[in-house]
Structure 1
Amino acid sequence: MPMDTPEEIRAFLIDSFKKHVPPLKINKDNPSVFEVGGTKPVMQGKQKVDGHYVGSVVLKPKDARLYFFPIYTHPNAFLSISPELRKCLHGKSCFHFKKTSIELRKEIESMIGQGVSLYIDAGLI
């Protein structure tokens, strides 16, 4: 049974991203933020970047936050996320997790994998 401290949820989210390294690369890995992106130079908005931003994990005092850019850039690909996961979505791309279940963790891992696949198919990573 998954534990539900923000630190444990943060560790799970980071591990979920690390399963996709490579093709993702870790841009930041420190106590305040973990960030992953692509490795191909691409246009992100109006500027050229060394790798397209994919996501971040940030620990807050009461929760762990997952910033997941594919749900912002490709919202139609994630219309079928469960009500449980959608309830954690604040804004367009930030999930706040205070607790998880085994089912929710499986769905988060699947969603991250789907986002990575979308970005590979789009030539972003």
Structure 2
Amino acid sequence: MENVEEIRQFLIDSLRSHVPPLVVKKDNPQVFEVAGGIPAMQGKQKVDGFYFGSVVPKPKDSRLYFFPIYTHPEEFEFISPELRKCLKGKSCFHFKKLNEAMSTEIKQMIARGIDVYQKNELI
């Protein structure tokens, strides 16, 4: 995949496949956001659902903000160097193109995030 819109839709579909336990918080052309569906502490405040991730389209790439890699980095040390190169900062992946191997790995990473958050009673 090299089309930014196609990548964006793949990322949204990958997150949406985990609804429930995730809940869609925002779904518009600027952002697709999912969070947990149970009240939880996020930092020092109680929230309706713990933030999990979002997809934000940009003119030259699609971005996946994936909070589990920020909150539990030790659980994602397995990601490939190819995927890790797309990680900018602590939790934001920038995708200009995706091959089948990376697409599979992204799905596995999201599923691992679900498992980690369920185990920690965040979603």
Range class of TM-score, shorter chain: over 0.9
Matching residue's letter, 1:69: F
The root-mean-square deviation of aligned C-alpha atoms, in Å, is 0.4
Q: Does 1:79 align with 2:63?
A: no
Stretches of 4+ aligned residues off by more than 6 angstroms: none
Shift of 1:35: 0.1
Q: Does 1:41 align with 2:39?
A: yes
Shift of 1:4: 1.3
5+ residue gaps, structure 2, are none
Query: Which whole-Å CA distance do the structure 2 matches of 1:35 and 1:117 have between them?
Result: 18
Identity rate of aligned residues, in percent?
66
5+ residue gaps, structure 1, are none
Figure out how many residues of one structure are paired with residues of the other and give that number. Answer: 123
User: In the alignment, what sits opposite 1:54?
Assistant: 52
SS at match of 1:65: strand
* TM superposition score normalised by structure 2: 0.99
SS at match of 1:120: helix
Q: Does 1:111 align with 2:109?
A: yes
Q: Deviations over 1:48-92 (max 9, x none)?
A: 100000000000000000000000000000011000000000000
Alignment partner of 2:18 out of 20, 24, 33: 20
User: In the alignment, what sits opposite 2:100?
Assistant: 102
* TM superposition score normalised by structure 1: 0.97
